[in-house]
Chains A and B, each alone.
Chain A
Amino acid sequence: MTMDNRRKILMVVAALLAVLVITPFSGSYVIVLVTHALIFGILAMSLDILLGYTGLPSLGQAAYLGMGAYLTAVLATRYQFGLDWTFWVVVVLGILIAAATAAFFGLFAIRATGVYFLMITLALGMCVWGLAYRWNSLTGGDNGIVLPPRPEFGIELADDVTYFYLVFGFFAVSLATLYLLVRSPFGHSLVGIRENELRMRILGYNTWLHKYIAFIIAGGYGGLAGVLWAQAHGLVSPEDVILATSVDALLMVVLGGPGTLVGGAIGAGIVVFLREYLSTLVPWWQYVLGGVYVLTILYLPGGLMGLPERIRGSRMPAAVAGEVKSLPSVSH
């Protein structure tokens, strides 16, 4: 296992390095697209902790992205804070406020299971959207908030390549820390809960607390994505917090392959590509987006990451096919 595992890690690192090296030499629009994809990659990986590892399908992950993004925008426009080195403080604050929100929401959400968890996270996400949309004095309502130029602290983040490097750095750190998390004993117990919560409880685990902590961690990473998103875009709007963003995040994870971390990032890349690039090529792009949803669900139970094994499985005896990783069941 260790040999195999090391090889896999090496391949991921190689792929990441390739992204790092190739992107700056691509067209300037590609740089922006890849930056967006990496940011959504962080969001998707945060959701994967919940969905893929803990078996909690959250329909409200956009809420945490929104908390981070709005915090960044409000601090920047009202208090001129975060426009220099204090950007790093904003990053920390963004993570904290999103994590705190998740800690609060978790009190309501964690006791729900299965489809009720879907519903309550949907409702919580809608609450955040409602506030962003209607609390005009703070959020600018439907207008949103236009941010001043990106921070400058010796390095100019306004330069898109520089900003790409920064986002890439955050992405790599997020991937590494989340990977360590899922490989830790805590991560293993999350998987245990996903597979059989009752057994874990009998074994003496406080499963509520485990799920609660996972929920908060996921929120924190969502907040990080939010801070980066606000700066990438120069604009924060209720549109960033709508249900479709949360649903897209779910699609990213399911499309890429839940419980694989990197799968979510790949899914993010594809969905960003569809939404932002394909929509410029064909007027009927919603057919493609809808089609990807339907086809993924019907024909890719393990996501793209499960694909090679499925192909191998169909060529090899059934015994091997048994290990095909399919979506965790979220029934109660």
Chain B
Amino acid sequence: MTEAISFYLIQFIILASALAVVLVPNPIYSAISLAVSMTGIAALFFSLEAYFIAGVQLVVYAGAVMVLFVMVVMLFDLKKEKRAFSRGTLSRVLKTTLSVLIFSMIAGALSMSFSELGSGDSIAKEDITRSIKELSALLYTKYVFAFEALAILLVMVIVGAIALAKAKGGTHAK
């Protein structure tokens, strides 16, 4: 029962702050809401006993990425936007309906398939403690090539980000 309560609480925090990210006109509030949302997700991972992932979530997202966002927002000195959303009534309506439609479709499909299986909830959570050791063994054996590729990607991103940020006016330089 405590599990259910905590799940709904975390769920509420995540969704509310996510909606705030999307709907609040001021970007700095968006960024803060995002940080809250990330933290909520980390908590969710924690409750799922994925401790390592939860930690990484906190460090990478709530830490590094959010710092980056806030830095950029600060750098730009952004104010509350008068028109935060793009123009066009028709396209707005279309976009909103489509988003809602897709969500309801996925949710509907999920509930239907689980009720047809009839055992959606009966799959018990395995009670094995996920050790970090096990995970890292997997990372360095089965996924070692992807891991190396990831290293190369990160190097390239560092170089690319620096090159982009240093460019004076880019291709439209005067």
Query: Do A and B assemble together?
Result: no
Interface residues of B (CB under 8 A from A): none
Interface residues of A (CB under 8 A from B): none
